[in-house]
């Protein structure tokens, strides 16, 4: 087993002494990470190599892993920083992480453009009634859909975005490209960016109500936390326009699915585009499969050609920030904790 290097600091800031990586990268990509952490010891294991991981966790101070952290990482005696190479860190946002003082970062934003485009696939398909148009095409019916000439496109409508991270920012940019008015709700108080007409902040005391009441399309791009669990339930659907659509690219439990089904069946809202669900895979008996005003995709988005390179860029940037004692990109905080619901 490799020996533990002596603990060290550099100019009073944390030094990286030994790194465990379980990410399934290509040899040249691993070589790039190895070079970035040099002169630290670099150990690469398959994510299924339990012995190799256990041996390395006896002394490494940094881990770059492909999934979420588990008790092995919480119990590692020297571990100080874990990077989870994916976007949603709900399973890693555990109270024990902060009790241990463990720094945890993720790769949120690497697929932001693709997720925003997926959201607009839903928005356009719902707005243009793509399901019924395809049915007419299959039937070779030229006359189309009665009343279709009264429909309005996205231009001039209001887009509401919940969660203004990198995906939310990409959604806003596309909204402006479609000539929409954009309202966003963010946890932190920030000035309205160039693509946002009205920026609301929960930390500033703003409520979600103006967004819900004004939006024609609501897109969810927020984290699942104890605060955002069932953020959309019966009271929120009741405040939406009956012509409005809701699109979930966040996590399934941000929406109360039973309340959503009721709102969709009753016509309280016009439709939904859903890529994430409270239980995945979505059970075969879920009514969401068969509702005519719902579009379902199986938590699956076409990727970007440079997705892995974007991850590596984030990890590389965070290596520099860690060594310099600067704030890290995509770092978990106690505000991100989600307590699983029974």
User: Which residues are designated catalytic?
Assistant: 251, 280, 299
Tokens representing 204? 């500033």
Within 13 A of 283's CA, how many CA atoms are on the CB side? 6
Strand order in the sheet with 217-220: 198-201, 181-186, 158-162, 217-220, 245-248, 271-274, 294-296
In sequence order, the β-bridge partners of residue 246 are: 218, 272
Tokens representing 58? 């006896």
Nearest alpha carbon to residue 81 among 321, 247, 299: 321
Cα–Cα dist 117/112, whole Å: 9
- Tokens 């997705």 found at: 307
How many Å from the N-terminal Cα to the C-terminal Cα in the chain?
Answer: 42
Beta strands in the chain (DSSP E): 9-10, 13-14, 18-21, 41-44, 62-65, 81-84, 103-106, 158-162, 181-186, 198-201, 217-220, 245-248, 271-274, 294-296
Within 13 A of 170's CA, how many CA atoms are on the CB side? 18
């Amino acid at each position: 087993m490799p020996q533990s290097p002596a603990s060290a600091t550099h100019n009073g800031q944390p030094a990286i002494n030994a790194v465990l990586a379980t990410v399934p990268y290509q040899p040249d990509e691993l070589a790039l990470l190895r070079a970035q952490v040099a002169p630290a010891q670099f150990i690469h294991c398959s994510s299924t190599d339990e012995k190799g991981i256990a041996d390395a966790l006896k002394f490494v101070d940094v881990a770059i892993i492909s999934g979420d952290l588990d008790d092995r990482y919480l119990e590692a005696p020297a571990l100080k920083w874990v990077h989870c190479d994916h976007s949603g860190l709900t399973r890693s946002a555990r109270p024990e992480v902060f009790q241990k003082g463990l720094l945890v970062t993720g790769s949120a934003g690497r697929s932001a453009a693709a997720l925003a485009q997926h959201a607009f696939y839903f928005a356009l398909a719902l707005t243009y009634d793509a399901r019924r148009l395809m049915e007419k095409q299959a039937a070779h019916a030229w006359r189309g859909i009665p009343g279709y000439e009264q429909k309005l496109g996205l231009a001039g409508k209001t887009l509401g975005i919940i969660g203004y991270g990198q995906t939310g920012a990409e959604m806003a940019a596309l909204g402006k490209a479609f000539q929409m008015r954009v309202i966003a709700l963010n946890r932190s108080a920030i000035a309205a960016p160039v693509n946002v007409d009205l920026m609301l902040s929960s930390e500033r005391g703003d409520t979600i109500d103006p967004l819900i009441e004004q939006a024609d399309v609501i897109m969810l791009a927020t984290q699942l936390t104890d605060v955002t669990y069932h953020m959309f339930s019966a009271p929120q659907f009741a405040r939406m326009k009956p012509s409005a659509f809701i699109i979930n690219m966040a996590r399934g439990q941000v929406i109360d699915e039973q309340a959503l089904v009721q709102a969709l069946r009753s016509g309280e809202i016009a439709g939904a585009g859903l890529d994430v669900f409270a239980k995945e895979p979505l059970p075969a008996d879920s009514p969401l499969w068969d509702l005519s005003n719902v579009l379902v995709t199986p938590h699956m988005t076409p990727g970007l050609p440079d997705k892995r390179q974007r991850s590596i860029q984030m990890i590389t940037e965070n290596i520099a920030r860690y060594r310099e004692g600067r704030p890290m990109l995509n770092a978990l905080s106690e505000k991100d904790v989600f307590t699983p619901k029974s």
